[in-house]
Amino acid sequence: MTREGVARTALTRATLFETLALWVELGWLRQLDRHFAIFLADRDPQADPLVWLAAALASHQLGRGHVCLSLSRVLATPRSALSLPPLEGGGEPAQAVVLPESLLDGITLAGWTAALTASFTVAMAREASGSATPLVLDGERLYLRRYWQAESAVAGHLRRRLGQPLAVADALAERLQALFAGNARQGDEPDWQRVACALALRQRLTIISGGPGTGKTTTVTRLLALLQQQSLTRDGEALRIRLAAPTGKAAARLSESIASAVGRLDVTEVVRDAIPQQAQTLHRLLGARPDTRHFRHHADAPLSLDLLVVDEASMVDLEMMAALLEAMPTDARLILLGDKDQLASVEAGSVLGDLCTGANVADGAGYSEPTRRYLQSMAGENLPVAAETNPLADHVAMLRKSFRFHEDSGIGALARAANGGDGRGFVQVLKEGFKDLATLDIDAAAFERAVVAGYRDLFEAVRAGDDSSSILALQSRFQVLCALRRGPWGVEGLNERIAQALWHQGWIARTEGWFAGRPVMVTHNDPQLGLYNGDLGLTLADEAGRLRVCFPHGDGVRQVLPSRLDAAVTAFAMTVHKSQGSEFEHVLFALPARSNPIVTRELIYTGITRARLRLTLALAQGGDERMLRDAVARQVVRDSAIAARLLKDSRALNRTDSSGSEV
């Protein structure tokens, strides 16, 4: 008998589910994942236990952001499939625990695949459309059916937006040059804003990625002006344009940015008036139906628009992207804005990162020859010739120059080191004495003093009874961010500690329940109230002392009774995930003392770049340079196949139509 045969014979239902139960107890696996495996075992009791193990691990990957389970990755690094805590000194847990490598000892990819295909609970991808199995095996990737369908739908919708370019009026070349004439150049570096705008003029799908302050909204506002001018001149009517973002806070910021950029445009009043300035959440745009995952707009009831701009696209998860693309009219343009290096969505998927990775745009030399000729004639940019082109890259533009973080910015230097995975450089930046950077011991009284000082302006305005609009504006002055949700350095511990510090100083009347000055964050969508996950508000008292929770809303303030907010948490401190789409003048960023799998390069980069003017890193006592270096070196890799699907299809498209027709 082969070694694989011995291992598979030893893995029984009893030993597997005993092991899964212990993994749940240790927090390595979710109870949901174990129950899913039991569910499949009850329906196909004759299946190989490897099927149930794969089912539990595939379910667990969704909670960690992965769309699927990569069997080859698990076989190569078995512990990567679980949420194992770091093992001190590389040792083993104290308990007698069966580790995943023991269960998979001797198992090959071919053997595991054979076990899965033998079960009627698993369908092969080529046959999955006509079945209803809970699991789908696509190559060496195992999916829960719902996510296989969502990924297939996203890839299909995006694929149909690739291909033949749209017509661009010759007169727009001159207008393009005029709108970007003020952009200062650095040597021979291309004007990537101009390149991005020129690309988007002639296609139905454009991805514009760039870090904070690189001018994404400025670029897209100029693009909207050019497209509206073309439409008004050619058709006598304006395009129907909508603006959207994943969260209410991100939508509010997009509205502010677009309104500011429109005010600076050198265009006619007719064109200026045709550019929308109010954004909304994706849930509101699509028409979320309460208590369901369905929307009012879908393939049979598409959105009424000609062009959609989605900001903070890195936060859009796979299922939301599938719903959005399904509701898009086939001839409408879609522009995705975001930062591919930020944290991906909380839910499963990393669509923006997948698209940018698949396009291979890191060096800016991934455009096809026809696209390069077009960019030279339209934007005046002579880009270098690439050794190998990829049609998907024709739809991606990377903005590289930051107008916010200059050479003397410590925040900018720290962000570049984190983004580049340079742990030693990251630590060195902290030691160089930049004026906009500071560190403090989170366990010392200095932490409480820093927090009270940071929130002082806000609470002075609350005490003075200023109008709610001006008070809400002060919320963007200071914010505490943290990496973890639980523990003394997580959201729960820090919120309690901050409330105690503010109470001792007399700024708040109590530390629990509802009180004037309590900042809250909505944690679930509530279409009836017009509030969505991530919306940030502040509890204020009216002249009669009655409490209302105030949220920014368009040009005004939306007031909600505290009793109506069933899903809201205190937000003196918030996780970096929840802060996406927001910016604050001063950020106090709390990091744990020990290395933690959650603390990654993307999380640190995202937390750092929430700060516009000042950043304070609060390090737990015992937190050392090694922890920081390890965190910066630890990169998130989410398993999905969108990039692979599009690259494969794009190459096929390129072989079919190699002429690369130009406008």
Provide the annotated binding site for ATP.
210-217
**CA–CA dist 10, 17 (Å, integer):** 13
Both tokens assigned to 432:
């160089």
Degrees, nearest 5: CA angle 454-413-482: 40
Distance set, CA 34 to CA 42, 55, 108, 272, 611 (Å): 12, 9, 23, 56, 41
Amino acid at position 554, single letter: G
Both tokens assigned to 468:
């709610």
Q: Left if phi > 0, otherwise alpha if psi is -120 to 50, otherwise beta: which for 599? A: beta
Q: What is the sign of the dihedral through the CA atoms of 517, 519, 522 and 523?
A: negative
Backbone angles phi, psi at 560, to 5 degrees: -130, 140
Of the candidates 506, 497, 508, 515, the one whose C-alpha atom is nearest the C-alpha of residue 451 is 497
Query: Residues 625, 626, 632, 637: what is their CA dihedral angle, to the nearest 10 degrees?
Result: -160
**CA–CA dist 338, 313 (Å, integer):** 5
**CA–CA dist 48, 41 (Å, integer):** 9
Both tokens assigned to 133:
């199995």
Question: What number of CA atoms fall less than 13 Å from residue 28's CA on the CB side?
Answer: 22
Amino acid at position 393, single letter: A
Strand order in the sheet with 573-575: 437-441, 611-619, 584-591, 478-482, 573-575
**CA–CA dist 4, 174 (Å, integer):** 68
Q: Is residue 229 helix, strand or coil?
A: helix
Containing 14, the helix (H) or strand (E) segment is: helix 13-26
Residues contacting 118, CB < 8 A, separation 6+: 47, 48
Helix, strand, coil abundance in the chain, percent, nearest 5: 45, 15, 40
Of the candidates 455, 418, 411, the one whose C-alpha atom is nearest the C-alpha of residue 437 is 411
Instruction: Evaluate whether 37 touches 53 at the Cβ level (below 8 Å).
Output: yes
**CA–CA dist 243, 158 (Å, integer):** 19
**CA–CA dist 471, 461 (Å, integer):** 6
Question: What number of CA atoms fall less than 13 Å from residue 6's CA on the CB side?
Answer: 6
Residues contacting 654, CB < 8 A, separation 6+: 368, 389, 391
Binding residue ranges: 210-217
Per the document, the length of the chain is 663
CA 494 to chain centre: 24
Q: Is residue 12 helix, strand or coil?
A: coil
Instruction: Evaluate whether 210 touches 395 at the Cβ level (below 8 Å).
Output: no
Residues contacting 184, CB < 8 A, separation 6+: none
**CA–CA dist 495, 144 (Å, integer):** 37
